[in-house]
Structure 1
């Protein structure tokens, strides 16, 4: 629970086992970045609050999910049961090709749009109609008075889709439609063995999160789908740098501009962020896909051998019934 904690005020990930360890391990960083004792105390407060949140994470999520199920009235109940006609015809053609026994990487590229970012791929995912209904449901949920979980340590605004009641929807989407694609594009990142997920909506706009710090995901493969109409926002482009363990240089960062209904697929450890949104509001669906066969060997966030605790649901993706106590995000 104490590793890889994102500190928003410093825009870094650090470990926290105790106050003395923290101050000693990061003495130079804290001296260089914290202006005075007040700022340092706020950083410590931020870290301790995050550790406490992680300890409560599973129980709090289960309680919210039960409350939402009993008290939230769905605006569009029909979208909670996965239907193939939610998907773009181009996406269905891509999936159909990938499911063929003779499908190979070279062939799948004909169904993808090129990007200037290494090993990232884009393609239409949903229909415009589904995105509209999905957004209306998300906004309806946001306006309700039911409790809401925070998507992750870096996004303060958005919706956890499992808590909303869309866990089966995402299961079907991942298992039957995304995994055939990732098995060809990312065989070296567990793309054929993605057995769990964390799915959520993020929102950017005035009074919400306006940008996203440079980071890597707690996932083997990530799908990011733009849901908002093109004329509803300006700015907020993604930028990609190097992989987590590669030498990085800002001059080599590449930019990707969102298009509604279109998703971008990338490796979870490919570092990225989002520039500030300038106008309007943007919603994105994020699906972190995880392969327990990969992460059971070592934690993808801290490289330590996983220390597992029993929990409900997918946890942090190490097995279907366990979670990693050092990198719950």
Structure 2
């Protein structure tokens, strides 16, 4: 686990083992020098049952973490009282060891190898446009109408710049031409470096032979800001039922289409709660997206209803925002080259809660249809029971007369 190199003055005045000792209550153990406490073990790591709602957590952004920074900020409120005011790296270490208990060893090994792979790229690749990697400059990235809506941060402001051509699919102008040009040039620079060094990179998904995971090339900070400050406010309004207000991690990448690239994309759902898809350029024909309705895992292969059919033609700089479980694909790019920026936004809390649910009628169209059918059958059964009861009552009256 890597820690932030800038420690607080409180932590720098003590030796690491002293800081850990204070974090665990300062209990003295015979045989240790100067009364120092032993390092915490898994058995001593505990969280409170109820969070300290008045505590203001540290900011864990910008650190090389195995989990989302938001997870640590949220979890910090559950720390024991004597840990709350310790140095950030002490709290980070304590929480990390708790979280890692629940990670299988093979998953920890996979993550470690991925971190090493990513570090190798970042250490050797010469960046072309530093603006894409450091602090985002919104006025250079986004069109004014999009920025205005984000600053107002109301449903009406978002709807003023958006179209909803099919339920749950939102389209709007988003990126400045300058940003598109920079990203295109940067990706071409990636590809050139990969070719010259014969470095084998991991593609964004198993469905793609071209494209690149932008986080692997050092753009994680920029993409986190894009999700947290610009996509999450919109998702909070339009996708609350799938965790749109609590998005806490992402997978950001570019896909390249053309005759000498990937040609199309098969029918699929995304590994996300909310997906952003923005066309960056260049000149191309074809490549339309086709959407076929939102489904949960159980119903992902059910038939498409006529009202769920929607096709969308890409426009450079314009975005499509939709639920990750909205089934879709891309038709063949018949001429030229097309590149798209995609940001899969995820919510760890929603994913955990989904494990214990069976009814997804708030967002799965097939679950909703099944629920309505059950309700219809229930009403019909009640009506039939009442009709039968009246008929029996009428027969009894006739026999009495």
TM-score where L is the length of structure 1: 0.69
Does the residue aligned with 2:246 lie in a helix, a strand or coil?
Answer: coil
User: Aligned partners of 1:156, 1:258: CA distance in 2, in Å?
Assistant: 21
Counterpart among 242, 257, 267 of residue 214 in structure 1: 267
Pairing partner for 1:129 from 178, 181, 197: 178
257 and 164 in structure 1: CA distance in 2 versus 1, 3 angstrom threshold: same
Equivalent-residue separation in structure 2 for 1:279 and 1:61 (angstroms): 35
Distance in 2 (alpha carbons) for counterparts of 1:233 and 1:57: 38
Deviations 1:275-320 (A, max 9, x none): 01101111101100001110012469xx9xxxxxxxxxxxxxxxxx
* 2:315 equivalent to 1:259: yes
The higher radius of gyration belongs to 2
- Aligned pairs for 1:125-204 (under 5 A) are 125-144=174-193, 145=197, 146-204=199-257
Any conservation in 1 of the 2:290–2:310 contact (CA below 8 Å)?
yes
**Residue in structure 2 matched with residue 319 of structure 1 by the alignment:** none
Match status 1:112 vs 2:167: no
Alignment RMSD: 2.3
Report the counterpart of residue 272 of structure 1 in structure 2: 328
Q: Is the 8 A contact 1:114 1:121 kept in 2?
A: yes
Q: What is the alpha-carbon distance in structure 1 between the residues aligned to residue 260 and residue 305 of structure 2? A: 28
CA shift for structure 1 position 185? 1.0
Q: Name the structure where helix makes up a greater proportion of residues.
A: 2
**Which of 291, 304, 311 matches 1:249?**
304
Residue of structure 2 in register with 1:3 after alignment: none
User: Is there any run of 5+ residues in structure 2 with no aligned partner, and where?
Assistant: 1-106, 359-401
Distance 1:139 1:250 in 2: 41
Q: Does 1:282 find its partner at 2:282?
A: no
What is the CA deviation profile of residues 119-157 of structure 1, one whole-angstrom value per residue up to 9, with x for unaligned ones?
Answer: 111112210011101110011111113432110121221
CA contact (8 A) 1:213 1:274 kept: yes
TM-score normalised per structure 2: 0.57
Task: Give a deviation string over 1:65-121, Cα, whole Å, max 9, x none.
Answer: 1111111111112221211121111110121122xxxx3x45531221242x22111
The answer as to 2:138 corresponding to 1:84 is yes
CA shift at 1:57, angstroms? 5.2
Paired position in structure 2 for 1:224: 277
Name 2:128's counterpart in structure 1.
75
Contact 2:149-2:157 within 8 A present in 1 as well? no
Shift in alpha-carbon separation, 1:250–1:63, aligned structure 2, 3 A: farther
Q: How many residue pairs were aligned?
A: 242
Contact 1:205–1:277 at 8 Å: present in 2 too? yes
Q: Unpaired segments of 5 or more residues in structure 1?
A: 1-53, 304-329
Higher relative CO (Cα under 8 Å, sequence separation at least 6) belongs to 1
Contact preservation (8 Å) 1:242, 1:248 = no
Shift of 1:178: 1.1
Find the aligned partners of 1:128 and 1:159 in 2 and give their Cα distance.
Answer: 21
**Contact persistence 1:68–1:147 (CA under 8 A):** no
